[in-house]
Amino acid sequence: MPRLLTVTLIAVTCLLSLLGAPAAQAQNPFAPIVKVNDRVVTVYELNQRTRFYEILRAPGDPAEQAYETLINERLQLDAAERLGVTASQEQLEAGVSEFAARANLSAEEFLNAMAQEGVDSETVYDFVRAGVLWRGVVRAQFGPQAQVTEAEIDRAVATAGTGGTSGVRVLLSEIFLPANTPEAEAAAMRRASEISRITTIGGFAAAARQYSAAPSRDVGGRQDWMPLSQLPAPLRSQILGLAPGQVTAPIPVPNAIALFQLRAIEETGAPTEAPAAIEFARYFIPGGRTESTLAEARRIENEVDTCDDLYGIAKGQPPERLLRDTLPVEQIAGDVAIELAKLDRGEVSTALTTADGQALVFLMLCSRTSSAVEEIDRDQIREQLINQRLASYADGYMSQLRADAYIVEQ
């Protein structure tokens, strides 16, 4: 697939346009910058979409993301045209309103705010239109294949810990890609996009050994069996939509991008409940992740059995060295929640550092509080599972469209 335009060239083009440089494209913002089959992307569209992503603080490099997304949208428009899928004005207005609501704004307030930042309303509508059309295309193409059975809904109910009669446990492998700077985050997202397409256990293990920053890289990212109910809810929902060998979409966590591969899943026959809250302690060991701090962590681990024992370790030290919290699961930071999911009461993880990398986190699980049984909306579960499958089909379909497309820089 031709990819003749680099991020550097994108940045230069945008800069020349802003400075009024005498280049032909800078003089004519509506000149085509890339051709996708019979459709084009103009310099103006690229600049507008880049600014749009900057305002939204989208992860990764805004210019590169804009370039790739605009190419994808041209392919999505082609697919919609072939299938006769259209977007009504009512759908577009609803899409803009839904998008604006995420910022607690009305559609009019959102469009006015964008205009003040230099983004034309048509840019917003084009973005929404592509999303509406693509959802229609995916449902038209793959809707029948994405249907779920009552047994699959039963399993989802059970793993949610809300009235199911049997528990489910999973074997996962993990990869954490460093993303502690904007440049590292952009590189991590590119790498994560490649890794998320891996479908073999060996391929994921090799990628973990090569790229992962987690201690588990030495064993190919492999984790032991764990109850699915202990995982953070967003990760649980992704895992439910996977078949063994498949990989989650990239998951942003503090200073990293995480990916998980499902190696195996089985019913245990034991009732499980998703925890409503988790009590955990963090003891911070200055010095980052080094041999000496890891040795200190091992020494402490040998001396403590419960979270209460950590008070003796931290005695006489600044109070901020030891933090003990009881939080609803959804309020726990993603990286901490993922580590806690691997632990039983009194167990310890030393996989994390503080955000600035200056201290090793000695993380200990104190206890889990089970949630009360709630009524499950089976239709909602069905829709979630269908959407997860459609998302997987959509990724594969887009890869196929790009592989077959004629994409050339102008």
Choose the weakest-confidence range: 222-231, 234-243, 337-346: 234-243
User: Is the pLDDT confidence value at 282 over 90?
Assistant: yes
Q: Please state, rounded to an integer, the average pLDDT across all residues of the chain.
A: 81
Residue 401 placed within a domain? no
Residue 408 domain-assigned (yes or no): no
Is residue 244 pLDDT above 50, yes or no?
A: yes
Which letter, b or e, does each residue of 73-95 get, where b requires 16 or more Cβ atoms within 10 Å of its Cβ?
A: bbbbbbbbeeeebebeeebbeeb
335 falls in which pLDDT band (50, 70, 90)?
A: confident
Q: Does one domain contain both 210 and 104? A: no
Tell me which residue has tokens 């996989």: 351
Asked if residue 315 is part of any domain, the answer here is yes
Instruction: Based on the fold, state whether residues 124 and 243 are members of the same structural domain.
Output: no
> Residue 270: pLDDT above 50?
yes
Whether 334 and 192 share a structural domain: no
Same domain, 330 and 255: no
Co-location of 154 and 132 in the same domain: no
- The reply to whether 187 and 220 lie within a common domain is yes
Which of 11-15, 91-95, 132-136, 215-219 has the weakest average pLDDT? 11-15
CATH of the domain at 56: 1.10.4030.10
**Residue-level pLDDT at 15:** 35
Confidence band of 166 (pLDDT split at 50, 70, 90): very low
- pLDDT, tens digit, for every residue of 196-230? 888 889 889 999 999 998 889 999 999 888 888 78
Q: Which of 29-38, 260-269, 305-314, 372-381 has the lowest mean pLDDT?
A: 372-381
The predicted structure's pLDDT at residue 164:
39
Number of separate domains in the chain: 3
Amino acid at the residue 122: E
Instruction: Tell me what pLDDT residue 42 has.
Output: 94
49 vs 277: which has the higher pLDDT: 49
CATH at residue 231: 3.10.50.40
Residues 107-114: what's their mean pLDDT?
90
**pLDDT above 70: residue 360:** yes
Going by C-beta distance under 8 Å and a sequence separation of 6 or more, which residues neighbour residue 316? Answer: none
Asked whether residue 402 is assigned to any structural domain, the reply reads no
Confidence at residue 355, expressed as pLDDT on a 0 to 100 scale? 75
In the chain, pLDDT over 70 holds for what percent of residues?
Answer: 85
Residues 53 and 129 in one domain: yes
The answer, yes or no, to whether residue 320 has pLDDT greater than 80, is: yes
Task: Give 254's pLDDT tier (boundaries 50, 70, 90).
Answer: confident
Query: Does the pLDDT value for residue 162 go beyond 70?
Result: no
Flag whether pLDDT at 125 surpasses 80: yes
Is the domain of 351 the same as that of 387? no
Least confident of 14-28, 32-46, 251-265: 14-28
- For residues 283 and 344, membership in a common domain is answered with yes
Pair 263, 332 in one domain: no
**What is the predicted pLDDT for the residue at 16?**
36
| Residue 1 within any structural domain of the chain | no
Same domain, 388 and 259: yes
The whole-number pLDDT of residue 273 equals 58
Any domain includes 400 = no
Residue 171 lies in a domain: yes
**pLDDT attached to residue 334:** 76
Residue 329: domain span = 275-370
* Domain's final residue, options 126, 142, 158: 142
**Max mean pLDDT range (66-75, 154-163, 344-353, 365-374):** 66-75
Q: Is residue 260 part of a domain?
A: yes
* Domain termination residue (choose one: 85, 118, 142): 142
Are residue 198 and residue 300 in the same domain, yes or no?
Answer: no
